[in-house]
Structure 1
Amino acid sequence: MTPPGGHPAVNADPGVWAWPPPRPVRTDLFAPAGTPKGESYHRLGRTSRYGWWTPPATLAVLGVLMFFLWVAMALAVTLVAVIGGSGLAPESMRVGEVARLAFGLLWGALFIPIVVFLVRVVQWRRTGSLMSVEGRTRSHWLMRCVILAIVPVGLCTVAYVLLADRFGLAPVSPEATGDGRLLLAAMVVIVLLVPFQSVAEELTLRGLVMQSVGALGARATEPGGSGAVARVLRSPWPAILAGGTLFPAIYAATHPGEPWTVAALTVLGLALSWLTWRTGGLEAAIGLHVVSALTQFTLCVLQGGIAAIGTGVVVGAGLSPGAGTPLVLGLTLLQTGMYVLLVRRASRRDGVRAVSAA
């Protein structure tokens, strides 16, 4: 019970000073912090290595990485345009519709390594805590959520096809894309990149944002942790509001005059943020996002709107079809409500953990 060359500890842990030690003792100062015990998903960022500098350092490094990502994508677009026969002058640079689609999706997908870098290097914690309270991706639960999402997304897609004419929307027809090779190339890009782009959005909005906001509140045992502000910040609602309204706020600022789309994005974002907290991980949000985004982009291509992707007419947030019209809000409410009910029932039946192990 006495450390070598020292004095007995007041509250000594026999598991630490017993010889030989019954469990490995961490001696690496550079090892990531472990997952906080007995905490909800939004609080997993408040690790033993968390400090006042963590939020500003995360924002600063995020800004730098986004700048370099923008430069890299601009160089890639320029290279593709030059290879395709365009000049270097801004007015002469052109890339094909499929290439523009690929670059737009790739831009979002590259947020995966950025978020992983921020969590592992800047916040110095395990990347698995970004996925769930169990410190890993719960593969079985993720596949279950993907299957559950097929039903509400399928019903809303059928409703959209039946109601598109009444709202003045383009009909769904493979002939609208024109060349069959263009349709095939666009579908290959969508199938290969949309899942990664959807996962990247959830890692950023429901993962990094929610956990960064949830980590602001001090623990009850820490200085200032008993105050009203700390109690509010420890609750899940600031994190849910931040993760659910950040993207709609950015969309509203960049696309004024589209209240229906902003309202639908807010409903979807808040529902996915609540499910993330309630199920203790990103699997439920990723399940709906991937299935809905694949459907949305496919419908856009079948309507001949490949060029609209990335311009704001189509957003990669798993939004229901019919953006810009009251139809999008109605379909989003229907799709999201059905999915929330299905996931809540399945999570109770499967005993999905919502709090990290004590």
Structure 2
Amino acid sequence: MRTNAFACAELPPGEAYHRLGRTSSFRWWTTPLALFCFAVLLFFLWLAILLAVTIVAIVGGSGLAPDSVRISEIAQLAFGLLSSALLIPIVLFVVRVIQWRRVGSLLSVEGRVRWGWMATCTAVAVLPVALGVAAFLPLARVLQPGLVPHQGTGGTEVFAAAMVVILLLVPFQSAAEEITLRGLVMQMVGALGARRGERGGDSAVARVLRSPWPAVLAGGTLFAALYLATHPGDVWTTAALAVMGLGAAWLTWRTGGLEAAIALHVVNSLVQFTLCVFEGRMSEIGTGAIVGAGLPLGAGTPLVLLLTTAQVGLYTLGVAWLARRRVRRESAGARR
């Protein structure tokens, strides 16, 4: 029979979101062990996806060689979104088993998803996303003539099948990326600073690590850095990813949970993915930029940075204003 000595750690009392990983079970080796296990599980996930793609290719009559692997764009879309969504069980395993804390501490300072607040943030996200789409056409004509695509959808059946995949998987894909980047990454960085009263807790380094800014910078720019490493010439999309990531990371800290970041990601991705399918640009959803954040239209041009900055800025102002009296920013302590 399990006793309290073997129970997983509860929420640390009176801490901001980025500090919830600094539980009573935290040790100096927790973070490197969590990173190692996450990398191993991610590697096996990549192998599983590669195997699934190969099997589909064989069934479709293709050979085993990578150059001959051909699957439909619908299947590629599903595999791309599903591979991101499968980050959820990996991250939850790392939090629950390796870091030995409740998975609710990854979601908010209340140890759960605040569904009412999530619904509010989703409603707020609709306006800036809609304005971004409405502004795209006139701005594209002025700033980037020829950017507006003219392809067809590929038929009603293709569009309908793609929309089923998008509606079913995009919420999970968006939540998975936010749980990983604004959740696990921010809390691993935020847990590094020792508490006041602990050994080294009064040092300047500990005070800096306890502040939200290292966690916000790490959670907000990691994906942009990875994208830049694989697309070194695409500075505009990289900058837009950094703006969106930093906005989501700051809101996660400011509101004490992932709801605001997930809401914007879901609404943005649903709209942008739908437009990509409608315009016959489904293959673009497989790129890191679009799967990574559901950026506004115009990726790879100055227009994407302009639209992203305006969209994230408007959303951040609205959510921050609503959050002043509606949500808790710090944990209340362990639940009994």
- Is this contact kept in 1: 2:227–2:289, CA < 8 A? no
Q: Which amino acid aligns with 1:204?
A: T
Higher relative helix content: 2
The 1:125/1:215 distance shift into structure 2, 3 A limit, reads same
SS in 2 for 1:343: helix
Q: Where does 1:158-173 land on structure 2 (aligned, <5 Å)?
A: 158-166=134-142, 167-171=144-148
Distance in 2, matches of 1:180 and 1:102, equals: 18
**2:233 equivalent to 1:257:** yes
SS in 2 for 1:177: coil
Distance in 1, matches of 2:53 and 2:31, equals: 33
Distance in 2, matches of 1:286 and 1:314, equals: 15
Distance in 2, matches of 1:186 and 1:164, equals: 26
Q: Which amino acid aligns with 2:34?
A: T
Higher relative contact order (CA 8 A, sep 6+): 2
Task: State which of 305, 320, 328 in structure 2 corresponds to 1:353.
Answer: 328
Which residue does 1:92 correspond to in 2? 68
Q: Give the count of matched residue pairs.
A: 331
- Is this contact kept in 2: 1:171–1:303, CA < 8 A? no
The alignment's TM-score, normalised by the length of structure 2, stands at: 0.95
SS in 2 for 1:309: helix
Q: Which amino acid aligns with 1:161?
A: L
**2:326 equivalent to 1:337:** no
How far 1:313 moved relative to its partner?
Answer: 5.8
Which residue does 1:157 correspond to in 2? 133
Q: Where does 1:132-147 land on structure 2 (aligned, <5 Å)?
A: 132-147=108-123
RMSD: 1.5
Distance in 1, matches of 2:169 and 2:137, equals: 25
Which residue does 2:26 correspond to in 1? 50
- Is this contact kept in 2: 1:131–1:282, CA < 8 A? yes
Q: Highest Rg: 1 or 2?
A: 1
5+ residue gaps in structure 2? none
Which residue does 1:197 correspond to in 2? 173
Distance in 2, matches of 1:311 and 1:228, equals: 41
The alignment's TM-score, normalised by the length of structure 1, stands at: 0.89
The 1:169/1:313 distance shift into structure 2, 3 A limit, reads farther
How far 1:293 moved relative to its partner?
Answer: 0.9
Distance in 1, matches of 2:255 and 2:65, equals: 51
How far 1:162 moved relative to its partner?
Answer: 3.1
**Which region of structure 1 is more displaced relative to structure 2, 60-69 or 79-88?**
79-88
1:194-231 Cα deviation digits (max 9, x unpaired): 11100000000000000000000000110110100001
The 1:265/1:91 distance shift into structure 2, 3 A limit, reads closer
Distance in 1, matches of 2:291 and 2:54, equals: 24
Which residue does 1:275 correspond to in 2? 251
**Which region of structure 1 is more displaced relative to structure 2, 214-223 or 157-166?**
157-166
Q: Which amino acid aligns with 2:178?
A: E
Which residue does 1:221 correspond to in 2? 197
How far 1:41 moved relative to its partner?
Answer: 0.3
1:28-56 Cα deviation digits (max 9, x unpaired): 43311010000000000000000011011
- Is this contact kept in 2: 1:255–1:312, CA < 8 A? no
1:47-67 Cα deviation digits (max 9, x unpaired): 000001101100110111011
How far 1:349 moved relative to its partner?
Answer: 4.0
Which residue does 1:248 correspond to in 2? 224
- Is this contact kept in 2: 1:210–1:240, CA < 8 A? yes
SS in 2 for 1:216: coil
1:150-207 Cα deviation digits (max 9, x unpaired): 011001111113333441355466x612222111111111111111100000000000
Distance in 2, matches of 1:287 and 1:326, equals: 25
The 1:117/1:312 distance shift into structure 2, 3 A limit, reads closer
